[in-house]
Structure 1
Amino acid sequence: MDLAEIPVLSLEDDRKDLPALLGESFRAFGFAMVRDHGIDEVLIDRAWDLTRAFFALPVEAKMKYRAGRGGARGYTPFRTEVAKNATEKDLKEFWHIGRDLPAGSPLAGSMPPNIWPEEVEGFRETFSALYAAFDKAGAELLSAIAIGLGLDARWFDPAIADGNSVLRLLHYPPVGADAGGAIRAGAHEDINLITLLLGAEEAGLELLGKHGKWLSLAPPEGAMVVNIGDMLQRLTNHVLPSTTHRVRNPSGERAMHSRYSMPFFLHLRSDFRFVTLPQCVSEENPDRYPDIITADDYLQERLREIGLIA
C-alpha cells in the first residue's frame, strides 16, 4: 500500500502561508495534515480513555442511549451505517455529540439536545470541552480556506455560527470471521464542510488518489487530518474536492485489535442557503448547482442515503 505524501502543515508556524499551502494540499488530495492545532493533549488523552470506557460497556447499557433522529445524538449500534451505494453495513459503532443551543433557538427543530451516559464519569465535561476546542480549531482552518478562496478571512463565521457540527466517537471492534464482504468503513465522502480527525493508533484510513489507487494515510503523532466534505465541494463548485476515503480491515494479528477514531464533522448552520461562490464559477467550470437548498435539506438527503434515517 502506497503512502499519501501529504505535507504536514503548522497552524502556528505556517500561518502566513497557510491559505496557499492548504489549498494546494486540498486540490491535490482533498486532504491536509495540520499540527499545532491548539487542542490540549491532556484533554485528548482523557477523551481517548473515556471513549474506550464507553464502548467497553455491555451492549444493553449502550443501547439505553440509542436515540432517534438518525443517530444525531447518543449511540448508534454496530453495523447500522452503510456507505452510499454499498450493500454491506460498516463494521463500526459510534456516539454523537452535538452543539448545545441557547434556549429558544430557531434551529432547535433540526438540532436535538445532547444525551450523556451515566456510567462513564466525566464524559459530559470532557467532551463538551473537546467539542469547543474542535469548534475553535475548525473556525481557524476555515478562515485560512476563506482567504485561499479570495474571501474575507471571517466569511465562514456567520455561516457556521450555531452550526450543526457533530463530534463522533468511533469504535471498530476486532474483525471476526463472520465479517463477510463488510469493511470497517466503506468508501465514502463526508457530508459536511470540513472534517477534523484526531489520529488513531491502528492503521487503516485510506484515500482514493486521482489515478484511482488507494493511498494510506499516516499522520504523525500530534497531527490532525483535515478533509474537504461534500458541502464545501458544492459551495466551491468542486474547486475544493471531496475525496473518497475508507477504513480497510486489518489482516493477521492486527484483526484482533479494536480501532478508535474521533472525527469532528464541521457543519454549516441548518438554515444556511447554498449559493455557489461566484469566484468558483467560470466558462471552464460552469455552476454545477444552480438550485438553492438549505444545509439541513442537504444533510437529510444524505442521511437517507447512508441508512441513518428512513
Structure 2
Amino acid sequence: MTVRTLTLSPGFDHDVVVDRIDPGCVGAVLQWKTHASGKGLNVSRTIRALGGDTVAYAVVGDSEAAAFTALAERDGYAVSSVVIEQPMRNNLTLRVGDHGATAGHAAGRRFSDVPEQAVRDLFDRLLADISPGDVVSFNGSLPDNSRPTVWAERAGEIHARGALLFADVQGEAMLRLLETRLVVAAKPNHDESRALSEPGEGRQPLDDALAAIRRMHSLGVADPIVTLGAMGALHVDGDLIVRSECPCDASRIEVGAGDAFVAGYCAGVDVVAWQGCRPVALGLATASAHVDGFDGDDLASRVEGRLARIVTEVLEPL
C-alpha cells in the first residue's frame, strides 16, 4: 500500500542555521538545507523516513519543476506533477546555533488563479495510480482565487477506488470536503478548528476544539483530530474525547510539526513496520521527534523511543 499526498500550494523550504543574529554585524551561515515543500511534500518526505511507500502529487512551476523533482528524489520519494506557468513560493526558516531554536519563519506567496484544467489533470494522475487500501491525504491551502469545493468534487472518485481519505486542509474547503461524508480522518489545528465550530461568548480555550471534534464526528469522520501544538491533540477513544501528548526535549523546529503528525498517523495506518501502533500515538511521537530536530535516517528510531512517552487524559463524553 502507498500513501499518496496531494498539494496545490507547494514550494521550496530553505532551512538556514546561523551562528548569531546581531544587527549591523556579520555572522556565519552554519547550515543551509533546501527541500521540496508544501504540506503534502513534507508528509511524503517524513513517511519515507519512517520506511513507508509514498508518492507526492503537486502542481509545480514550469521553470522550477526539474529542481523540485530532484530535491524530492534526493529525499527518497517520487513526485507526480502537472506544470503551470507560475513561479513557486520560497519559504525561509531561520535558526540560531547548530540545531538551535527557531528565530523566525517567513512564507512566500503561493500560486494564484491556477488553471482548473491543471488541477483536473493532477487529480486524474492521482486517480490512475490508486490501488485499494492506499491512503490519500489532501494537504494544505488552496491557491489564491480557487473554489472551496476543489477537494470535495473529487472525493467520491477517490473513495470509489478503495482509498482511505485523510484531510488536512483549511477553512471552508475543509467543511465542504467533510460534508461529502467520505473522510476517514481529519486534522485541523486549534486555529483551523474554529471554522468547524460556532462562535460564542465566554468560550474556554478548548471549546472550539471540542466543538470541532463533535462536528467532524457528526459528518462521519471516524477519527476526528484537533492538534494543539505543545499540548498534543484532541481525539476520540471509543465514546470519549481525550487529549494525548508526547513531550519534547528541546523544541528546536516548530514549523512543520503538523505535517510530521500527519505523516506519522498515515504510517500507522499504512506502513507494515508500524502495524500495532495507534495512528494518533505514532503521529504524536513523529511530531515530537520533528520538533526536537530529528529527520532522515535519525527519525524512525527516535519516533520508536518516544511512543512510551505518550500520556492521555479523558476530557468529556463524545
Q: Higher strand proportion, which one?
A: 2
Q: Higher helix proportion, which one?
A: 2
Q: How would you bin the TM-score normalised by the shorter chain?
A: under 0.3
Give TM-score scaled by structure 1 length.
Answer: 0.24
Higher RCO structure, 1 or 2 (CA under 8 Å, sep 6+): 1
Give TM-score scaled by structure 2 length.
Answer: 0.24
